[in-house]
Structure 1
Amino acid sequence: MKKILAFAGSNSSKSINFKLLNYVANRISGHEVKIQQFQQYELPIYSADWEIEKGIPVNVKIIHSIIKDHDAIVLAVNEHNGNVSAYFKNLLDWLSRLDRKFLDRKKILLISTSPGKRGAASALEYTKNVLHRFGGQVIESFSLPLFNDNFKDGKVQDEILALGIDDVLTTFSHELDQIEANES
């Protein structure tokens, strides 16, 4: 059984990506899943001057420790104006300053959603292309378009989209099972 950390790249208390994350994380079986909200750990906007004068904030070290304690990650990426949110980018900046390979050997499932037709696909693509720099391996990704139409009562309404989520979860879980089998 692998330990999976599930968190969203949003600091909004009403995050639709966090709602999707809960739905996806609760569909994972056979592994221990911890759903985490990191916005409780306040971080200053990254600046080299801040880092030189004050060092790495203790909250970055706490988040880093939580990530390191898990084997895999389910990450819901939100989008602001076609890019990742400033909150998420800032989190990546701080974590990579503490430990360039803070995602070393982590298997990652990326998900995203938005009210629009693209489902935060631009932020998802950016994240998919950058996480390997920090040692992470993106196994699968899934983008849910038109959140307000396709997600109601805590679940995905469209049958085809729900099957798509099941498919990426199967692949992700299979990858984790393979790692576990190789370790035995």
Structure 2
Amino acid sequence: MKLLAFAATNSQQSINRALVTYAASQVNADEVEILDLNDFEMAIYSIDRENASGIPEQAQLFFDKIGQADAILISFAEHNGTYTAAYKNIFDWASRINQKFYQQKPVLMLATSPGPGGAKNVLDTAVTSAPFFDANVVGSLSIPSFYENFDLEKQTLINEELNSQLISLVTKLNH
């Protein structure tokens, strides 16, 4: 199985990157590719840009990465209650290639934040909209109060209950 994982943010110090990397390490996969959204930076989507210049190469590359994967693992950062601009832009461009952005792949959606909300707003939005974009959402999990529940030095989820829930969910990607 080939797993594609990424944090839906362009932050280099992203706690969602730490979470998705840890979660990916728990998946029984032959190959794990962790993407950095910074490698897919492009102009802000607009229909005018699309009509004038077509779809950027980075959008096609991102869409192709999803198509080549057997399963997808995403951890969403939350900016003002919703997607980060970096993720939303990539999603907007790639979904213009085909609205079936997730290409029927099994997807596990995660989110975390430093506060008690655990980026639950953006996670709920992502889970609710995913079926419209051809995702097979196998589960979702919000990790609240990241710094209390994750050991950055050891790169591990230290809250046993949350870790147990995460392990249970990642096994669903193997089916």
> Which TM-score applies when normalising by structure 2?
0.94
Is 2:20–2:75's contact at 8 Å kept on the other side of the alignment? yes
Farther off after superposition, 15-24 or 153-162:
153-162
1:83 is paired with a residue of what secondary structure?
A: coil
2:138 is paired with a residue of what secondary structure?
A: strand
Task: Show the 5 A alignment for 1:118-133.
Answer: 118-133=117-132
Q: How far has the Cα of 1:135 moved from its partner? A: 0.9
Unaligned 5+ segments in structure 2 are none
Is 2:2–2:29's contact at 8 Å kept on the other side of the alignment? no
Q: How far has the Cα of 1:4 moved from its partner? A: 1.3
Q: How far has the Cα of 1:172 moved from its partner? A: 3.1
State the match for 1:165 in structure 2.
166
1:4 is paired with a residue of what secondary structure?
A: strand
Is 2:111–2:123's contact at 8 Å kept on the other side of the alignment? yes
CA deviations 1:104-158 (Å, max 9, x no partner) are 2110000110001011000000000112111111111111100111111211111
State the match for 2:33 in structure 1.
34
Cα RMSD for the two superposed structures: 1.2
Task: Show the 5 A alignment for 1:37-116.
Answer: 37-116=36-115
1:46 is paired with a residue of what secondary structure?
A: coil
Farther off after superposition, 118-127 or 162-171:
162-171
Once superposed, which parts of structure 1, at least 4 consecutive aligned residues long, lie more than 3 Å away? none
Q: How far has the Cα of 1:28 moved from its partner? A: 0.9
Q: How far has the Cα of 1:31 moved from its partner? A: 4.1
Q: Structure 1 30/90 Cα, relative in aligned 2: closer, same or farther at 3 Å?
A: closer
**Matches of 1:136 and 1:31 in 2, distance apart?**
22
Is 2:72–2:106's contact at 8 Å kept on the other side of the alignment? yes
Aligned length: 173
CA deviations 1:30-49 (Å, max 9, x no partner) are 44322121211211111111
**Matches of 2:135 and 2:29 in 1, distance apart?**
22
1:166 is paired with a residue of what secondary structure?
A: helix
> Which TM-score applies when normalising by structure 1?
0.89
Q: How far has the Cα of 1:102 moved from its partner? A: 2.5
**Matches of 1:92 and 1:125 in 2, distance apart?**
17
**Matches of 2:60 and 2:29 in 1, distance apart?**
29
State the match for 1:147 in structure 2.
146
Is 1:38–1:63's contact at 8 Å kept on the other side of the alignment? no
